Amino acid sequence: MAALAAVLALGVPLAACGQQAAQSGPSNSALNRHHANQAGGTTVPASTMVATLHASIARFATPGGPQTGTVPGSWYGSPSTLPVLATRPGWLRVRLAQRPNDSTAWILAGQASLARSPDAIVINLGTRHLTLYQKAKRVFSAPIGIGTPADPTPTGQYFVALYASPPSPAYGAFVMAPSAHSDTITDWSDSGDAIIAIHGPLGSDAQIGTTGAAISHGCIRMHEPDLIRLRQVPAGSPIDIVA
């Protein structure tokens, strides 16, 4: 990925976007799989229920169990809009944007507004391509720059956490920040985190080419026209990164 110290406008500690980084040491529920397709070994849902918080709320390990902390109402200035993985009467199990990767929590259903996203993104590290789906149908696929073996892009199930303004034109029209965090970089430029980002090519168009390349510290680099096609994907939409 290229580890960016931060997207300056929002202070988002994106995980390395071009310089040397300081080193330190899946499954959707049935409600999101209706009419789903298989792609690259992962299930692509026809739509995903998403929960938007309006304030910080209590989180629970189990429905009706003791409170185990809080889920922030916003993250780096954007409302917390989280995919719903499962439901119980009065309860929602949601995926979280914060470390560690694959964190989930139960929340009270009455404390969130619900909607559905028709979009899903699959990033295949083996083919070095990103594919956008709408209603489980493939919209387009594009070559990408992915992490090198030293700083690989982490596989797993994530989601679109927020959009941020780029710190320079080289990052493209915008930066998409998924809920993924680097497994090899934990504190980029003393920022306290290292978030995997999806952004423009940072001058590496020729390296990305038509087949993709392993060129970043974990972030996903895209040709600018391809990146722009992702701007309509709502926050909370799933992003699966597969090997």
Secondary structure (H, E, C), the chain: CCCCCCECCCCECECCCCCCCCCCCCCCCHHHCCCCEEECCEEECCCEEEEEECCCEEEECCCCCCEEEEECCEECCEECEEEEEEEECCEEEEECCCCCCCCEEEEEHHHEEEEEECEEEEEECCCCEEEEEECCEEEEEEEEEEECCCCCCCCEEEEEEEEECCCCHHHCCCEEEECCECCCCCCHHHCCCCECCEECCCCCHHHHCCCCEEEECCCEEECHHHHHCCCCCCCCCEEEEEC
Q: Output the pLDDT for position 38.
A: 53
- For the chain, the average pLDDT equals 84
pLDDT (tens digit per residue) in 197-223: 999 999 999 999 999 999 998 899 999
pLDDT reading at 157 higher than 80: yes
* pLDDT at residue 30, rounded to an integer: 36
Predicted TM-score (pTM) of this structure: 0.85
Q: For the segment 174-203, what is each residue's pLDDT rounded down to a tens digit?
A: 999 999 998 676 554 444 457 889 999 999
For Cα atoms 188, 192, 198, give the angle at the middle one, nearest 5 degrees.
55
Identify the CATH class of 49-117. mainly beta
94-133 pLDDT tens trace: 999 998 998 999 999 999 999 999 999 999 999 999 999 9
Location of each CATH 2.40.440.10 domain in the chain: 119-242
Q: What is the mean pLDDT of residues 44-71?
A: 96
Q: Find all residues with CB under 8 Å of 131, minimum gap 6, and list them.
A: 39, 40, 121, 122, 123, 124, 138, 139, 140, 141, 142
Considering only 36-50, 125-139, 155-169, which range has the smallest mean pLDDT? Answer: 36-50
Q: Which CATH superfamily includes the segment(s) 119-242?
A: L,D-transpeptidase catalytic domain-like (2.40.440.10)
Q: What is the location of CATH 2.30.30.40 in the chain?
A: 49-117
Q: Which two tokens stand for residue 127?
A: 């083919």
Q: What is the pLDDT of residue 209?
A: 96
pLDDT at residue 74 tops 80: yes
Of the listed ranges 8-12, 22-26, 83-87, the one predicted with least confidence: 22-26
Q: How many residues does the chain have?
A: 243
Share of the chain above pLDDT 90, in %: 70
